[in-house]
Amino acid sequence: MLTIYLKQYNKIIRNAEPELLDTLGYDDILWIDLLSPSIKEQKAVENFIEESLQTRQQVEEIESTSKYSETENSIISNTNFFIPTGETFDVEPVSFIISNEGVLVSMRSAESRTFREAEKRLQMNYRGYSTGYHIFISLLEVRIDFDADLVEFVAKQVAALSKDINTEDTIDKEVIHRINALQENTMILRENIFDRQRILSSILRSERFPNDIYPRLQLMIKDVSSLISHTDFTFQRLDYIQDAALGLINIEQNEVVKIFSVAAVVFLPATLVASIYGMNFKFMPELEWIWTLPNGWSIPMGYIFALGLMILASGLTMGYFRYKKWL
């Protein structure tokens, strides 16, 4: 879909007819927005600005020159916009081209709140957007505001995770997966904000933008630096939470090992007694210890003595453990 923003009758007019590009000049158009454009729409825009649009592969390149570059006829900038999807977000590459005449061309493949908000600001204060340079800066401003919302959203998720770990008695795999997912999201968010900082720094060094834009750039760079610091803090907090979770898991495992170890030591004396009486000695007087009741029943006292000795040995071992506060 192609959307053209025109300057007519002291207001901004929105139009979606590619044929207008054949009849209008640079002075009539502020912004051309391409959303999943057809080949015909791409060709029409390329013919109008006399510049090739960026391919998706070019937009997704990580080299600094692909993020911002200036040619003889235009300024090209590629960045990523985040699109929230429930508990996480998708990364959508966006390409911008600003011609020397001040016409902005944006190309993307997904809907974005950033563009809707920028369009709303454009319609409400059209006098503040005399060129495509101003619209481009406005889009970055809106994007930085939304990035701040995402940073706050991730921080709330981290706080909720920390609270869950402090209140739960056991730590399962799901908690570790949540920590890893938040670490991944925070890292992607930080890298994306850092790319925004590089673009702003490149614009600040450029001499092509209108002079009234540079004071706004200084404020935007400060905001981006604050966001990077905040994401660094969030990542450090996640590291701390991960260490705490792994520590709790180790404690749980040690408790299980402790139980088995204590059980083995407690029953060791009893096992020793049973082993001694299990030997086939020729002389074992305990076997002759028999108590005959008045009714004629016989009770083998040797077995009772052996059982009592095993219970006594285990009880003494347990009592010693409790005395040492090992249990």
Domain boundaries, the chain: 2-251, 267-323
CATH 3.30.460.20 fits 2-251, yes or no: yes
C-alpha span between 327 and 320 (Å, rounded): 10
Instruction: Report helix, strand or coil for 111.
Output: coil
Is the pLDDT reported for residue 139 higher than 80? yes
Residue 252 pLDDT exceeds 70: yes
Strands 290-292 and 298-300: antiparallel
Q: Which two tokens stand for residue 252?
A: 């749980």
For the chain, the average pLDDT equals 81
According to DSSP, the residues that pair with 4 across neighbouring strands are 15, 32
Q: How far is CA 17 from the centre of its chain?
A: 40
Strand order in the sheet with 68-70: 11-15, 2-8, 29-35, 104-108, 88-99, 74-85, 68-70
Distance CA 315, CA 201 (A): 75
3-state secondary structure of 228: helix
Of 211, 219, 233, nearest in space to 159 by CA: 233
Q: Which residues pair with residue 106 across a beta bridge?
A: 33, 96
CA–CA distance, 192 with 144 (Å, rounded to integer): 10
pLDDT at res. 72: 86
Residue range 54-64: mean pLDDT, rounded:
69
Is residue 186 a contact partner of residue 231, using CB atoms and an 8 Å limit?
A: yes
Q: What is the pTM of this model?
A: 0.73
CA distance 5 to 63: 31
177: exposed, middle or buried (Cβ count in 10 Å: 0-12, 13-18, 19+): exposed
Q: For residue range 151-179, what is the model confidence (pLDDT) as tens digits?
A: 898 888 888 888 887 777 677 778 888 88
Say which range, 116-125, 159-168, 247-256, has the weakest mean pLDDT.
247-256
Q: Which pLDDT score is estimated for 55?
A: 75
Q: Which runs of consecutive H residues, i.e. helices, occur in 99-213? A: 113-124, 132-167, 173-205
Place 220 in a pLDDT band, splitting at 50, 70 and 90.
Answer: very high
Taking residue 81's Cβ as centre, other Cβ atoms within 10 Å add up to: 22
pLDDT at position 91? 81
Per-residue pLDDT at 227 = 92
**DSSP helix/strand/coil, 71:** coil
Residue 289 pLDDT > 60: yes
Beta bridge partners of 70: 75
pLDDT value at residue 223: 92
Per-residue pLDDT at 141? 92
pLDDT category of residue 279 using cuts at 50, 70 and 90: low
Look at residue 129 and tell me whether its pLDDT is greater than 60: yes
Q: Is the pLDDT of residue 238 over 80?
A: yes
For 131, the token pair is: 């060129």
Q: For residue 58, what pLDDT is reported?
A: 73
- The DSSP result for 240-301, as a single string, is HHHHHHHHHHHHHHHHHHHHHHHHHHHTHHHHHHHHHHTS--S--GGGG-EEE-TTS-EEEH
CB atoms within 10 A of CB 47: 11
Which residue did the predictor score with more confidence, 279 or 136?
136
Q: Is the pLDDT of residue 84 over 80?
A: no
